[in-house]
Chain A
Amino acid sequence: MADAYMGQFLMVDLTRETTRAVPVPQWLKDQFVGGKGFGAKLLYDLVPPGTNPLGPENVLMFLTGPLTATAAPSMRACAVTRSPLTGTYLDSFFGGRFGPEIKYAGYDGIIIFGKASRPVYLWIKDSRVEIRPAKGIWGTSTLEANALIKKDIEEPEARVVTIGQAGENQVLFSLICCEYNRQAGRGGAGAVMGSKNLKGIAIKGSRIVKVHDLKAFDAACKGAYAEIAQSAACATYTDGGTSSAIPWSNEIGTLPYRNYKSQSDPQADKIGDEGQKKHLFLGKAACFACPIRCSQMGAVRTGKHSHFITDIVEYESAALLGSNLDIHDVRAVAHLTKLCDEYGLDSMSAGGVIGFAFEAANNGVIQSPPGVTLDFGNVQGAEYLIRSMALQENELGKLLSQGVKRASTALGGNTGDYAMHVKGLECPAWGPRGTPGMGLAYMTADRGACHQRGFMIGYDVGGDEYNGQPVEPYLTKGRAVILVELQNFIAGTDALVKCDFTTCGLSSETFAAMLSAATGKPVEADYFNIIGEKIWNQTRLYNVREGFLAKDDTLPRRFIKEVLPDGPHKGQRISQEDMDYMRRDYYRIRGWDKEGRPTSETLKKLGLDQAPDFMERP
């Protein structure tokens, strides 16, 4: 009986150049659902402790969820691996059209082992899988490689993921570019792909994805579309994508400015929806099966950088390559973002690294090379660093391409004070001084500083109520309990694999109705919190096994030591005492010991002490 799964993983061993399909065990579906859940369990079981993230023993997985490829709105997929940037568990979610195609080819996921002896790409057409030489494609950008692979296989309708030059060169924050120009951006999954000599994967599938109860599923999906159509939050995304978050973030005092020195940017509006509508947007594009269409497609038609096609400059890119670098020509910010996309660099980490480098140059720690100015506001300096890192053109580029954590360690002095990262992952564009809940979210996110594992800003300053009560600003008390709930729900729905923006408009009941009808296993609205708690603890088990403990659940020194000089939260910081209190509170609620290890009672309660090992190997 159909249950919306395809029932098998494709296992690829690039070292031996073999591939085979293996069944997805029923227990894995029952206990870990899909997406992030599969990733959490499989990474723990498949990758031995202490594995070099860039060695052949690391695995790279592309995982779907039970609702991916169906008519359920906006379901995506994720790349999961051990991060070379942080050493932690890494999942990176991507929209577009590649994820669904995995299922149309007949798989719930692709699991890649080993390392090819020469550059290759994979061509998967249903059950036929080829490992093909990437000669003539290696060395090209993400988008060039996409076109070249389609040409090589003579299949314009294939869905392709690629890495750019940055991934080939194993820049630690390189991305995987997913059909079309959607990024598995954070944490360096592109470097893992590059370390395996894998330039791309092309897929085309003819299989039908079938759900258990089509009539009930159709009704649940139609209900979901209606909810989205009525949602004011979703309407904001339809209108201007995430670009309108720029003025909002500035207003609530969380927009990073000049390497997070401040959280208030006087020229923010130029790079937000106002500036982007004027200078960039022409039409809208949607990810697969998404009625929201948050992606605003356009072109830079005027100025120094014309002409090129640009996607929306998402909030994170606009803030980190714009405000954070004190650059306010939105066309220039679009240009820098496009460079990152094409070379295959995570634009968020790139913005963090460049901000760090500009500040270090201001402090005299690094010198601007002849003809280049490394300073805030300088587009050419930013462009120079992006190219230097992606192409490994010089020593500075090589140093910075390892991220701010390693770069500050190498540079020494007080550079660590303004290296803005958690566990090595550069911070997202929500300065947390004044929003302690968001600080705790960064401290405890499984892949390092991440805003998508629990977006506390809404409660800290956004006016969201918790259990019908307003949330007192600046308090550390009571933040952990809200964050734990958010993290659980997000991890649970990331098993599907949902999109964060659709979730703004969909109720838990609707997710439950779609999942129940699709799999034939009835679940209630609280299911996602329950399964999410289990998944969150499974990723924690991985990180604990790799040595991440309480000492690592911390914030960059700037957020701890320096009070905000201006803006709505002038005078705010998150002190050591604040962090210690919130961490203790969080561990207590999680059922973790004082070092942040899940206790045996917690593992027992969640059934993680009994979970079987995934035994299949290629």
Chain B
Amino acid sequence: MTQILSIKTNFDLCTGCSLCQLACSQRLLGGYNPHRALLRITHKTENLYHFPLVCNQCENPYCANVCPVKAISRNPQTGAMVVDHDTCIGCNMCRKYCPIEMVGVDPDLNKSVKCDLCNGNPACVAVCPTGALELAYRALPDKKNNEEADHG
């Protein structure tokens, strides 16, 4: 079994406070705006429920699959799909094909941005006051070899 890091979301504990989004935008952009953060909260049913949504760090990552310059790849240490800004050309193809819009070009950076799990110590999880975001390890069955699925 291979263990990879992930952020588990618990909607039952989420209060919708957005401290996670503020911590995220602070790290990414040096300032505050939850709409610019790399995770999202949807408020439902007259504010009774709050659904945090984070990047799935997919096994089958559509963002990387469609990237014309192969700028998105998996960090072997954290298991996160990470954008290489030196390679990214800002075409936003990744956003077009991400079904949950968790990746895309930031208007100031002009490069695609997505959750990189803060190199293994996510700021959003650290600041969450309720445990609605928690660090978890996904147990994956070992592959025959260590290569990603071949989509070529």
Cα separation A283 to B17 with both chains bound (whole Å):
13
Q: Which of B26-34, B58-66, B83-91 contacts A (4 or more CB under 8 A)?
A: B26-34
Name the A residues within 8 Å of B19 (CB-CB): 71, 289, 291
The reply to whether B33 and A205 form a contact with Cβ atoms under 8 Å apart is yes
The reply to whether A181 and B47 form a contact with Cβ atoms under 8 Å apart is yes
The reply to whether A70 and B32 form a contact with Cβ atoms under 8 Å apart is yes
The reply to whether A218 and B26 form a contact with Cβ atoms under 8 Å apart is yes
Q: In chain B between 18 and 67, which residues have their CB closer than 8 angstroms to a CB of chain A?
A: 18-19, 22-23, 25-26, 29-33, 35-36, 43, 45-50
Name the A residues within 8 Å of B43 (CB-CB): 180
Cα separation A290 to B19 with both chains bound (whole Å):
7
Q: How far is the CB of A298 from chain B (nearest CB, A)?
A: 8
Q: A220 within 8 Å of B by Cβ?
A: no
Q: In chain A between 253 and 289, which residues have their CB closer than 8 angstroms to a CB of chain B?
A: 282-289
Q: How far is the CB of A178 from chain B (nearest CB, A)?
A: 12
Q: How far is the CB of B114 from chain A (nearest CB, A)?
A: 18
Name the A residues within 8 Å of B130 (CB-CB): 284, 293
The reply to whether B45 and A283 form a contact with Cβ atoms under 8 Å apart is no
Cα separation A134 to B26 with both chains bound (whole Å):
37
Name the B residues within 8 Å of A180 (CB-CB): 43, 46-47
The reply to whether A209 and B16 form a contact with Cβ atoms under 8 Å apart is no
Partner of B15, one of A97, A293, A298: A293
Q: A69 within 8 Å of B by Cβ?
A: yes
The reply to whether A299 and B30 form a contact with Cβ atoms under 8 Å apart is no
Name the B residues within 8 Å of A297 (CB-CB): 46-48
Q: A525 within 8 Å of B by Cβ?
A: no
Name the A residues within 8 Å of B129 (CB-CB): 225, 229, 291, 293
Q: B76 within 8 Å of A by Cβ?
A: no
The reply to whether A206 and B46 form a contact with Cβ atoms under 8 Å apart is no
The reply to whether B32 and A309 form a contact with Cβ atoms under 8 Å apart is no
Q: In chain A between 91 and 140, which residues have their CB closer than 8 angstroms to a CB of chain B?
A: 97, 104
Cα separation A285 to B51 with both chains bound (whole Å):
12
The reply to whether A71 and B22 form a contact with Cβ atoms under 8 Å apart is yes
Name the B residues within 8 Å of A328 (CB-CB): none
Q: How far is the CB of A147 from chain B (nearest CB, A)?
A: 10
Q: How far is the CB of B104 from chain A (nearest CB, A)?
A: 13
Q: B107 within 8 Å of A by Cβ?
A: yes
Q: A70-B22, A214-B26, A291-B17 are in contact. Are A208 and B46 (CB under 8 A)?
A: no
The reply to whether A209 and B17 form a contact with Cβ atoms under 8 Å apart is no
Q: How far is the CB of B129 from chain A (nearest CB, A)?
A: 4
Look across to chain B and name the residue whose beta carbon is closest to the beta carbon of A74: B17
Q: A333 within 8 Å of B by Cβ?
A: no
Cα separation A286 to B129 with both chains bound (whole Å):
11
The reply to whether A286 and B15 form a contact with Cβ atoms under 8 Å apart is yes
Cα separation A143 to B47 with both chains bound (whole Å):
11
Name the A residues within 8 Å of B32 (CB-CB): 69-71, 208-210
Q: How far is the CB of A461 from chain B (nearest CB, A)?
A: 32
Name the A residues within 8 Å of B12 (CB-CB): 283
Q: A204 within 8 Å of B by Cβ?
A: yes
Look across to chain B and name the residue whose beta carbon is closest to the beta carbon of A73: B19
Name the A residues within 8 Å of B30 (CB-CB): 208, 210, 214
Cα separation A206 to B46 with both chains bound (whole Å):
24
Q: How far is the CB of A234 from chain B (nearest CB, A)?
A: 11
Partner of B31, one of A211, A287, A295: A211
The reply to whether B18 and A208 form a contact with Cβ atoms under 8 Å apart is no
Residue from B17, B19, B32 with most neighbouring chain A CB atoms (10 Å):
B32
Partner of B23, one of A71, A211, A287, A290: A71
Partner of A181, one of B16, B18, B22, B46: B46
Name the A residues within 8 Å of B150 (CB-CB): none
Q: List 9 A-B contacts (CB under 8 A).
A: A70-B22, A181-B46, A208-B33, A210-B31, A229-B129, A286-B16, A293-B130, A297-B46, A298-B48
Q: Which residues of B contact A (CB under 8 A)?
A: 12, 15-19, 22-23, 25-26, 29-33, 35-36, 43, 45-50, 107-108, 127, 129-130
Nearest first, the 7 closest Cβ-Cβ pairs linking A and B are A286-B17, A208-B31, A286-B15, A291-B129, A210-B31, A293-B15, A309-B46
20 extra A-B contacts, CB within 8 A, seeds A69-B32, A299-B48: A104-B33, A180-B46, A181-B46, A181-B47, A204-B35, A206-B33, A206-B35, A206-B107, A208-B32, A211-B31, A283-B12, A285-B15, A285-B16, A285-B47, A288-B18, A289-B18, A289-B19, A291-B129, A295-B47, A297-B47
